[in-house]
Amino acid sequence: MRCAGALRRSRLWTLLYPLLCSVMLVACGGSETYLDDEAANKTAFDWALREGVPLPLEPAANPMSETKFQLGRHLFYDARLSGNGTQSCSSCHHQDKAFTDGLVVSVGSTGDSHPRNAQTLTNVAYNATYTWANPALITIEAQMHTPLFSEQPVEQGIDDSNQDAVLQRILDEPRYEALFAEAFPAQGSPVSFANIIDAIAVFVRGMTSFNAPFDRYQLGQRSALSASALRGQELFFSEALECFHCHGGYNFSDSTVDRTIAFVERPFHNTGLYNIGGSGDFPPDNQGVFEATGDPSDMGKFRAPTLRNITLTAPYMHDGSIDTLEAVVEFYAAGGRNVESGPYAGDGRTNPFKDSFVSGFAITAQQQADLIAFLHSLTDESFVTSPRFSNPWE
Amino acid sequence: MIRTFPLCRVPGTLLACLLSVNGYGHGETPMEVGTLVSAAVSVTWRDDGMLLQDDGRWLIPGVLMGGEAYPVDAGVTVDEARLDLAHRTAERVFGRLQIASHDGVSDAEIHHAYGGLQLDTGPVLTTLAAGRMAAAMTPANGEHASDRLFSETPLPLQAFLGSQLNDDGARVSLGLGAWQLGLEAWRGDRFPAAGEGEDLNDVYLHYRDGWNGVQVFAGIWWLQADAVNRSDTRYSADGHDHGSVSQSTTLPEYWFDGRTEIGGAFLRLDGGHASHWHWALEAQYLQVSIEGSVRDSTRLAPWSAEDNGGWLQASLGHGAHTLGLRWERLVLENHLSGAAAGALADLTGLYNPDHDPERISAVYHWQVQPGLALRLEAVDDAIQTESIQRVAVGLVWQAELL
């Protein structure tokens, strides 16, 4: 019997031994989280981001540098960078308006009207695509060919007939010699349109804006948002209003890319602004992604822009056809817009290609005021007054 | 996806133990011939609840939460309400149906709905069961607030099994004397598998016997779960409207793909029932290995984890009065890599700031009547980096209705 008992105890010990070792292991403690970002968050450039915002992508062919940023800033504000010497990038991108121009649609250097409203340059480093509706345009460098060289409509109006003269104007400016040399130190003759584009792209890419009251609230400053803005924030992120589906995330746009993103989405949305003749059509000069793809289901689809600094960027929508934020909220509450007469007549609310999130909602006057108070909290005053982004020629 | 049958991973020593002992059978299997209808309700008032995130979710820092791991809330909560029907024939055919709500969840659900039979095959008692049931690898997995000395679910079960592993599946158990070997294969719809129904299997070896008036119940077990698109459905699943999250709140969405392996060991000693004094000791340990990735709609980060968790519990009683202590702790080691490692660690709650989640509880349990007990508890809750204390007063009612 003693043998049987000893055997039984030894078998039980088979079960108990790992348990006792384990209890000791747990008792010792030592929780840790190891994060290896594989150098993705390494950067030599001062992006001035707030905590919690990932770094934007940086093209390998055009790495960020402070010297390129400063050169790009000079070029951005230089009207000599246009065919007739009258228009710079800043002509349509005013700092005090979060780098928009306040017009319904922008006007080029030769007087051509652009069919679309000037977009803000706020945080464009995070854009998954550029311009209002071009899924193929995914870098600032590629986008910049349009304002500099486009012929329909003419924007800055540089073409074969004047490009040498434009470059000569740049060469003739004494400040540029040092700026180009510092920005592109390995090149013997750095004044070229390729380098001009790279430098302006670095400047524009470096325009980050994450110091709004909303950001300060996110960082723990509870007084940064008013009670009304907090109520508006809850409405904004509610399933009832659906705003956040297209304007969510740290940049308030679903068309956002950064270094952490593995699956890049480049969505476009038809918000029901038009429905000409009930067939889903948009005005012929402004049909969204359809113009690039020819796919009927892409009719009227445009990129959801960031809502950061939105209070400074009126008028709104891709064609500047809505004047105020209040009217924009009413437009979404109605689930689209019914154009009752004229060449664009048609009920956008029933546009067959309309995004399902633009389904309309009921909202009281107080709720609308709260929602707009929240949108005001996305305004970064330091962005629109920062000397870093200001005109260096003044 | 490679599917492996768990038996191939059972250590040889484990099988050797099985083959050298005598017949035995236990578990949730109804053992008495006839029909038994029983009910239980556990209601608890707490002066404070667990610490939650700003959005109302309950996260254990460093754990990818899921299943039905709900926090306790302040105020009065029905920790459990259940109605149980069990039947067994003389031919050793049995079935069980249990409808229950637990962890403060508002809606009841079918918790058990299974049938089976026992086969007396010589020295081995073979039990077959299939249907919806709680996994039997550790007895703690099948217990709720009405069964336990403490009202709150053990922290390691909350963290690693989503409170309880309860799924549709089949069990084969072989009983030999004090030993029992069980194999369970599940449909894989539940945490830590879940998602798109991948492998979920476990194997266990239990030992239960009496020594000089001390009841010994010990065991070791191993579980494997594969998950694809597993999300945290605690606050979105139908019928699981939990009060801590506002309906207007939009919660972050993220998914886990990968394999979870859990090894466990437990010991329960229960003694002194021959006199007015009685005592019990319990130790449970879980070791978890996770290999996979976490992602949201745009970001992905490979993730591996080596976690440990366990609890020690002791109680001493005299007559209808019992005093108990429980200490629980998790040790969590996470490795995330890739550009989104930091962002996803924050989003998913996997970031742990060098903190070992811990909870110490004390209880006074008074069995006022055979079917009614009063429970007073004091809890030092250091699950989050900020610790809180709460007290609880609860009633447990249990009855055999038929």
Whether the per-residue pLDDT at B244 is higher than 90: the answer is: no
The beta-carbon neighbor of A37 closest among B334, B341, B356 is: B341
DSSP H/E element including A383 = helix A381-385
Instruction: Assign B6 a pLDDT band (cuts: 50, 70, 90).
Output: very low
- What's the whole-number mean pLDDT along residues B271-287? 90
**pLDDT of B17:** 34
Amino acid letter for position B158: Q
Residues 272-301 in B contacting A (C-alpha not used; CB under 8 Å): 283, 285, 287, 295, 297-300
Instruction: Assign A74 a pLDDT band (cuts: 50, 70, 90).
Output: very high
**pLDDT of A85:** 95
A324 closest CA partner among A382, A254, A380, A375:
A375
Residues contacting residue A111 through CB under 8 Å, at least 6 positions apart? none
Q: Using a CB-CB distance cutoff of 8 angstroms, which residues of chain B are in contact with residue A247?
A: none
B138 closest CA partner among B285, B288, B358, B260:
B285
Contact A19 B267 (CB under 8 A): yes
Residue with tokens 């998950």: B227
Distance CA B378, CA B363 (A): 7
Pure H helices in B103-142: none
Contact B338 A38 (CB under 8 A): yes
The beta-carbon neighbor of A22 closest among B265, B338, B357 is: B265
Residues 185-224 in B contacting A (C-alpha not used; CB under 8 Å): 205, 207, 209, 216, 218-220
Q: How many CB atoms lie within 10 A of CB A31?
A: 20
The beta-carbon neighbor of B352 closest among A33, A36, A239 is: A33
Contact A30 B310 (CB under 8 A): no
- CA nearest B312 in A: which residue? A23
Q: Using a CB-CB distance cutoff of 8 angstroms, which residues of chain B are in contact with residue A29?
A: 329, 331, 356
Distance CA B266, CA B218 (A): 5
Contact A260 B248 (CB under 8 A): no
DSSP assignment of B5-73: -GGGGS-HHHHHHHTTS-----SSS--SSEEEEEEEEEEEEESS-----TTS----TT----TT-PPP-
- What's B248's DSSP letter? T
- What's B196's DSSP letter? T
Specify whether the CB–CB gap between B79 and B44 falls below 8 A: yes
A305 closest CA partner among A121, A148, A174, A50:
A121
- pLDDT tens, residue by residue, A333-385: 999 999 999 999 999 999 999 999 999 999 999 999 999 999 999 999 999 99
- What's the whole-number mean pLDDT along residues B269-290? 91
Q: Residue A261: beta bridge partners?
A: B299
Amino acid letter for position B266: F
Distance from CA of B223 to the nearest CA of A (A): 16
Give B10 or B169, the one with higher predicted confidence: B169
Q: Residue B313: beta bridge partners?
A: B282, B326
Contact A260 B340 (CB under 8 A): yes
Q: Using a CB-CB distance cutoff of 8 angstroms, which residues of chain A are in contact with residue B62?
A: 31, 33
A101 closest CA partner among A330, A349, A315, A380:
A315
- C-alpha B33: how far from its chain's center? 28
The beta-carbon neighbor of A22 closest among B21, B300, B310 is: B310
Interface test with B, best of A26, A49, A246, A367 (most B CBs within 10 A): A26
Residue B390 Rama label (left phi>0; alpha psi -120 to 50; beta): beta
- CA nearest A240 in B: which residue? B248
B183: its two tokens: 């194999």
A10 closest CA partner among B249, B116, B385, B20:
B20
Cβ–Cβ pairs < 8 A, chains A and B: 147
Q: Using a CB-CB distance cutoff of 8 angstroms, which residues of chain B are in contact with residue A34?
A: 333-336
A216 closest CA partner among A2, A378, A328, A29:
A378
Specify whether the CB–CB gap between B58 and B72 falls below 8 A: no
Whether the per-residue pLDDT at B300 is higher than 70: the answer is: yes
- pLDDT tens, residue by residue, B88-141: 998 899 999 999 988 766 678 899 999 999 998 889 999 999 999 999 999 999
Distance CA B46, CA A163 (A): 77
Asked if the C-beta of B52 comes within 8 angstroms of chain A's C-beta atoms, the answer is: no
Distance from CA of B277 to the nearest CA of A (A): 25
Q: Using a CB-CB distance cutoff of 8 angstroms, which residues of chain B are in contact with residue A27?
A: 329
A353: its two tokens: 């290609």
The residues on A that touch B, with CB distances below 8 Å, are: 8, 11-12, 14-16, 18-19, 22-23, 25-38, 40-41, 52, 54, 234, 237-240, 244, 259-265
- What's A168's DSSP letter? H
Whether the per-residue pLDDT at B328 is higher than 70: the answer is: yes
Distance CA A177, CA A181 (A): 6
**pLDDT of B108:** 84
A113: its two tokens: 């009207």
Amino acid letter for position A219: L
- CA nearest B251 in A: which residue? A237
Specify whether the CB–CB gap between A381 and A215 falls below 8 A: no
Q: Using a CB-CB distance cutoff of 8 angstroms, which residues of chain A are in contact with residue B207?
A: 11-12, 15
**pLDDT of B302:** 97
Amino acid letter for position A252: F
Residues contacting residue B276 through CB under 8 Å, at least 6 positions apart? B318, B319
Q: Strands B321-337 and A32-36: what pairing?
A: parallel
Asked if the C-beta of B122 comes within 8 angstroms of chain A's C-beta atoms, the answer is: no
Upstream peptide bond of B302 is cis (omega within 30 degrees of 0): no
Distance from CA of A233 to the nearest CA of B (A): 11
Which SS3 state, helix, strand or coil, does residue A259 take? coil
Mean pLDDT of chain B: 88
A105 closest CA partner among A365, A293, A285:
A285
**pLDDT of B23:** 30
Contact A36 B356 (CB under 8 A): no
Contact A15 B205 (CB under 8 A): yes
**pLDDT of B21:** 31
Residues contacting residue B109 through CB under 8 Å, at least 6 positions apart? B99, B100, B101, B239
Contact A32 B295 (CB under 8 A): no
Whether the per-residue pLDDT at A8 is higher than 70: the answer is: no
The helices-and-strands tally (H runs, E runs) of chain B is 3, 16
Least confident of B18-22, B115-119, B183-187: B18-22
Whether the per-residue pLDDT at B336 is higher than 80: the answer is: yes
Specify whether the CB–CB gap between A12 and B216 falls below 8 A: yes
Instruction: Assign A16 a pLDDT band (cuts: 50, 70, 90).
Output: low
Distance CA B251, CA B246 (A): 10
Instruction: Please report the sign of the dihedral spanned by the C-alpha atoms of residue B206, residue B210, residue B211, residue B217.
Output: positive
The beta-carbon neighbor of B340 closest among A16, A238, A262 is: A262
Residue B212 Rama label (left phi>0; alpha psi -120 to 50; beta): left
Q: Using a CB-CB distance cutoff of 8 angstroms, which residues of chain A are in contact with residue B343?
A: 54, 260
Contact A14 B310 (CB under 8 A): no
- CA nearest B300 in A: which residue? A262
Q: Using a CB-CB distance cutoff of 8 angstroms, which residues of chain A are in contact with residue B346?
A: 52
Contact A22 B343 (CB under 8 A): no
Whether the per-residue pLDDT at B257 is higher than 90: the answer is: yes
